[in-house]
Structure 1
Amino acid sequence: MKNILALAAALALGTLSTEALAGQPFVRAEAGNSDIEVSYGRYFRGSDHDTALLVGGGYWFTPNLAVEGHVGSLYTEYLGCDYDLDLVTVGAGIVAKKHFGPQETDFFVGARAGVARVTLQLREDRFDIVDDESSTKPYYGISAGYDFSRRWGLGLNYDRRRAESNGVNVDVDTITFAGEIRFR
């Protein structure tokens, strides 16, 4: 069995080109708007919006396929008496991109999907977390933008995240403007 696995791994690595192995790490910063909808059973529904700020990074294995991770703030509300309510996200997933210009430049469209942990935190005095509830669910999104070179580009992203805890459902739609820098 070990020999079969070793042979399969050797064949898989042998089929990869050196171009595919010479990928690019990247970092991304996103800023935009979150639209949050909260529901509890059939009787309570509420919505609000706030600024979304996220940072992420990952690795482009090819110009069209990458893995990514992100962390960011989706919502912050001051409750008074030194208390804040925060909605934060941490996630990891895959990204696909299709370019319409030569050598991975010009306009592109993309999609991403993965798993995100969304945490609702009650903080006191800006730093002390009094209580938090987390939920891990799939996330997905689409993007469009322009890559000015193989090293950097700008894009517009739409992402959908969900959370659920103790009968409370939270849906978060974000539209963000993103800048991405790739290293080689």
Structure 2
Amino acid sequence: MKKFVTLAAAIALATLSTDAMAGHAFVRAELGSSDTEVRYDGFRGSESDTSASIGGGYWFTPNIGVEGHVGSLYNKDLGYDQELDLVSIGAGLVVKKNFGADDTGFFIGARAGIARLTAQVREDTFDVVDDESSTKPYYGVNVGYDFNRRWGLSLNYDRRQGDFSGVDVDVDTISLGGEFRF
């Protein structure tokens, strides 16, 4: 019986394509602009700020992977040595379709997952005075160019949402990203 299971496993592994077996871990950095819209009890306001995020994950195939990210979406000086920060931490699925040979060239992609938005008021540099978090789905799309199988650049659009004690927050981010695969 043991020989039969070993033979069956060997045949199953041999039938899988080498592309499906050849995954790549990756790291990604994105820099862009976030438009943050706030709604509360009939009031609506929006403001833009620079956003930055870093992330990483694993491409199981050239087209399907998982990712995680952490980033700053909004920062405002409140005076009196206090700042308001909006931070995102998330994990999700990524898909991509390359139009060049050997999974290079132009591509389109999408991502979706769960993000935890945290709004925090900080004193000085690192002392958190108050914070509140909201966990909701996020999604995004991108277009880009993979220069080779190891690295590429992309233009990304992402949408994240949060609800903080009746204050609804929508964050739309447009960013330029660089991804290195190893």
Q: Give the match for residue 40 of structure 2.
A: 40
Q: Give the match for residue 5 of structure 1.
A: none
Residue 59 and residue 80 in structure 1: after superposition, are their counterparts in 2 closer, same or farther (change >3 A)?
same
1:147-162 map, 5 Å: 147-162=146-161
Deviation at 1:117, TM superposition (A): 0.2
Q: Give the match for residue 31 of structure 2.
A: 31
1:1-184 map, 5 Å: 16-41=16-41, 43-183=42-182
Counterpart of 2:102 in 1: which secondary structure? helix
Of stretches 149-158 and 20-29 in structure 1, the one that deviates more from structure 2 is: 20-29
TM superposition outliers: structure 1 runs of 4+ over 4 Å: 9-16
Alignment deviations for residues 137-171 of structure 1 (CA, whole Å, 9 cap, x no partner): 00000000000000000000000000002111000
Residue 45 and residue 12 in structure 1: after superposition, are their counterparts in 2 closer, same or farther (change >3 A)?
farther
Deviation at 1:22, TM superposition (A): 2.1
Amino acid at match of 2:56: G
Q: Is the 8 A contact 2:19 2:62 kept in 1?
A: no
Q: Is the 8 A contact 2:145 2:154 kept in 1?
A: yes
Deviation at 1:14, TM superposition (A): 7.9
Unaligned residue ranges in structure 2 (runs of 5+): 1-8
Counterpart of 2:20 in 1: which secondary structure? helix
Residue 167 and residue 61 in structure 1: after superposition, are their counterparts in 2 closer, same or farther (change >3 A)?
same
Counterpart of 1:150 in 2: which secondary structure? coil
Deviation at 1:126, TM superposition (A): 1.3
Q: Is the 8 A contact 2:140 2:159 kept in 1?
A: yes
Deviation at 1:179, TM superposition (A): 0.3
Counterpart of 2:60 in 1: which secondary structure? strand
Q: What is the CA–CA distance in structure 1 between the aligned matches of 2:37 and 2:13, rounded to whole Å?
A: 46
Q: Is the 8 A contact 2:20 2:61 kept in 1?
A: yes
Deviation at 1:21, TM superposition (A): 2.5
Deviation at 1:174, TM superposition (A): 0.1
Deviation at 1:20, TM superposition (A): 1.6
Amino acid at match of 1:19: D
Task: Give aligned pairs, total.
Answer: 174
Report the TM-score when normalising by structure 2: 0.91
Amino acid at match of 2:23: G
Counterpart of 1:62 in 2: which secondary structure? coil
Unaligned residue ranges in structure 1 (runs of 5+): 1-8
Indicate the RMSD between aligned Cα atoms, in angstroms.
1.8
Q: What is the CA–CA distance in structure 2 between the aligned matches of 1:38 and 1:11, rounded to whole Å?
A: 56
Residue 15 and residue 115 in structure 1: after superposition, are their counterparts in 2 closer, same or farther (change >3 A)?
farther
